[in-house]
Amino acid sequence: MTVVRPLAPADVLEELGRRRIVAVIRAGSADAAVFAAQALAAGGVDAVEVTYTTPGAAIAIRELVDAQSDLLLGAGTLTSAAQAREAVEAGASFLVSPYTCVPVLDVGAESDVLAIPGVMTPTEIAAVRERAPLLKLFPAGIGGPALLRALRGPFPDLRLLPTGGVSAENVADWLAAGAFAIGAGSDLCPPRLVDERDRVEIERRARAYVSAAGREDA
């Protein structure tokens, strides 16, 4: 499917829920990030977060926006308004922070771009849920699917994107616990495979995730 940009936050939210898997790319260069995103897309994982721990992250996002129209592209590990603005200018459709970074939320609101803050506790959720329709549960592996299930008790309508500790083996558990979608990093796209440009193995891992998530296109 070709995504027409720019997408409104509600449309991005809908797409993330449909695609179910967000690949979190940490790479040593912009070129490496582009390679990883394209390999993942070839395997069926077509929502990608290029982290700002990647040198030249904005360059990678801009190149992918221009060259890979089937990808839903976001920027991750954002910790400042300047980073968020740069990501928006590069064409990012969503902005992700590892914690509740208010300046990134502000840029998202100003730019009409979906911002996804990181949370871990009920207090953090309560403080930000009115500003963000989707929250990143991070590091999700500490509590596992049981934590997500428990949080949805007092917050039954909560949309959570668990990230950290997600693997192909537990994707189904996360979704069964009520995850809106899942974020997968080093298990899905290990830096070693990116460094080695191992497209075959990255594609294989992507297909395994798509299958585990029960996607109709698996």
Q: Which one from 15, 49, 86, 203 is the annotated catalytic residue?
A: 49
Q: Which one from 15, 63, 136, 203 is the annotated catalytic residue?
A: 136
Burial-class residue 131 by CB neighbours within 10 Å (0-12, 13-18, 19+). middle
Question: How many helices (H) and strands (E) are present in the chain, helices listed first?
Answer: 10, 9
Q: What are the DSSP calls for 88-115, one per residue?
A: HHHT-SEEE-SS--HHHHHHHHHHT-EE
pLDDT at 135: 98
Dist. CA 11–CA 71, nearest whole Å: 14
Let me know: does 34 contact 138? Beta carbons within 8 Å: no
Secondary structure letter of residue 163 according to DSSP: B
Give 150's contacts (C-beta < 8 A, 6+ positions apart).
Answer: 143
Dist. CA 34–CA 56, nearest whole Å: 11
Average pLDDT per consecutive 10 residues, the chain (218 residues; last block may be shorter): 62 96 97 97 97 97 89 97 97 97 98 97 96 97 96 95 96 97 96 95 97 78
pTM: 0.94
Dist. CA 36–CA 18, nearest whole Å: 21
136 noted as active-site residue: yes
Secondary structure letter of residue 142 according to DSSP: G
Dist. CA 102–CA 153, nearest whole Å: 26
- What's the one-letter identity of residue 147? L
pLDDT at 69: 78
Let me know: does 201 contact 40? Beta carbons within 8 Å: no
pLDDT at 3: 38
Let me know: does 68 contact 88? Beta carbons within 8 Å: no
How is residue 120 written in tokens?
Answer: 């871990």
pLDDT at 203: 97
| 9-212 under CATH 3.20.20.70, yes or no | yes
Rounded to the nearest 10 degrees, the angle between the axes of helix 81-90 and helix 57-67 is 20
pLDDT at 216: 62
Dist. CA 149–CA 155, nearest whole Å: 10
CA 61, distance to chain mean position in Å, is 13
| Phi-psi map region of 144: left, alpha, beta (phi>0 left; psi -120 to 50 alpha) | left
pLDDT at 4: 38
